[in-house]
A = this chain, B = another copy of it.
Amino acid sequence: MAFILTFLGKGGTGRTTIAIAAAKKFANLGQRVLLVGQDPTPAFGLLLGTFPRADPTEVEPNLKAVQLQSTLLLERSWDEVKKLEAEYLRSPTLKNVYGQELGILPGMDSALALNAIREYDASGEYDVIIYDGSGDQATLRMLGMPEILSWYFRRFRQIFTESDLGKAISPFIQPVTSAILNVTWTPDDFANKPTQQTSQMLEQGKTAVADPNRVAAYLVTTGDTAALATAKYFWGSAQQVNLTVGGVLLNQIPATDTLAADFAPLTVSALPQLSQVADWQPLMDALPDFKQAMQAPKAITIDVANRQVSLFLPGFDKKQVKLTQYGPEVTIEAGDQRRNIWLPPQLSGQAVKGAKFQDQRLIISF
């Protein structure tokens, strides 16, 4: 299992350059590193000094790089879907649709990238995977996908089973499935079988994102007001997907006391400018120990004994955070994200008794 590292910040603050320097640093320390670029433009290759392919290729000792290509990843995923269909369906039909025809819809890039990272991680070939994504809300949506998708499955499976539509379809499931499937399914199988493997994968994804030993993000900013505000915003937003932010990297500005206070309790590191002759060493030397993410505050702490849930939401004030309990779970809205908090059985389904915002935290009592 690899340590997966990514960088968040406004465009143009030097995220890609820092991602490359971090990859080189880990590789120099003897770690087996994979640098994953999401940006399909030539910018990634120009900064790296070589144009990576759509499959991992060594660019220097211990360091492989890959530039994700959604069209290719979709082709491969489609082949997997067709295999799965052929396993279940007596006469597969998707075989008549070719991966090479499929266009890319919004969201596919993120889903395919997350799946690619999962596979690179599972391969056991890497100690560190550095993901150079868009570094903005899209990266957070991607990392939040396992948790949010699990919620959709959980919620809508129940709704479907209890619905008139579900009940009306129920008696037909057996005749239909026995007519077309290699196996016979009961209505229960129908609701569970095809989603079982997916659910397992989503659970693993959720656990990984929540663990700073497995996944961490660092903020990147210049001294520009908009860049600083963006970094702060992503710090809070990252918590909404349970992603640990390990520290702040200041691109070509000194680490003042004001900045340190703004981002406390995180460590703030000042980075030098990359020289034109591409001597990466000074930048590599200035990077912090990324494993310090383990000391950063956790996004969520659940205290069953005191019936309290504490959410770390830095950068937001009380008015920017909304707590609701419409559905069966507690929903937190902040940073244009919604998080449904899965609670342990002792607190699950209980009404919220009170909530206060204190020391960058939303504390909910049950």
Contact = CB atoms under 8 A, between A and B. Distances in A.
Interface of A: 10-13, 39-43, 46-47, 69-71, 89-91, 93-94, 96-98, 100-111, 134, 136-138, 141-142, 144-145, 147-149, 151-152, 155-156, 159-160, 162-165, 168-169, 172, 175-176, 179-180, 225-227, 229-230, 233-234, 237, 324, 326-327, 329, 331, 333, 335-340
Contacts of A169: 176
A324 B103 contact: no
Contacts of A168: 176, 179-180
A93 B326 contact: no
B10 A155 contact: no
A237 B103 CA distance: 13
A208 B331 CA distance: 38
A102 B338 contact: yes
Contact of A136 (B13, B42, B107, B134): B134
Contacts of A160: 93
A338 B101 contact: yes
Contacts of A162: 93
Nearest 9 pairs between A and B by C-beta?
A12-B12, A11-B11, A107-B107, A106-B110, A93-B163, A103-B148, A98-B326, A106-B107, A43-B226
A90 B164 contact: yes
Contact of A42 (B42, B96, B175, B233): B233
A172 B338 CA distance: 38
A226 B179 CA distance: 57
A229 B16 CA distance: 15
A90 B109 CA distance: 38
A251 to B, nearest CB: 11
Nearest to A327: B101
Contacts of A107: 105-108, 110-111
B230 A141 contact: no
A98 B330 CA distance: 12
